[in-house]
Amino acid sequence: MAYVINDDCISCGACEAQCPTNAISQAGDKYVIAADPCVDCGACAGVCPVSAPQPQ
């Protein structure tokens, strides 16, 4: 099951840099995770300063 980024996202980009499948991209004022390439590794959640990426 893919991770999702909630509204707590502060657009720092830390999660995008850590994603091994390049599933994260910026969309407006926050980042989003594409469900298909997400492998549910949690790397994004581990580096986020505000815990915005969460398991869906």
For residue 39, give the CATH number of its domain.
Answer: 3.30.70.20
pLDDT for residue 15: 98
pLDDT for residue 42: 97
Pairwise CA distance, residues 8 & 39, whole Å: 22
For 32-56, what is each residue's pLDDT tens digit? 999 999 999 999 999 999 999 999 9
For 1-31, what is each residue's pLDDT tens digit? 799 999 999 999 999 999 999 999 999 999 9
pLDDT for residue 2: 92
Q: Considering its fold, how many domains does the chain have in total?
A: 1
Pairwise CA distance, residues 44 & 15, whole Å: 4
The beta-strand segments (E) located in the chain are 3-5, 24-27, 30-33, 53-55
Domain that holds residue 50: 3-55
pLDDT for residue 1: 77
Query: What sign does the dihedral 15-21-27-33 (CA atoms) show?
Result: negative
Closest CA to 47 of 16, 8, 6: 16
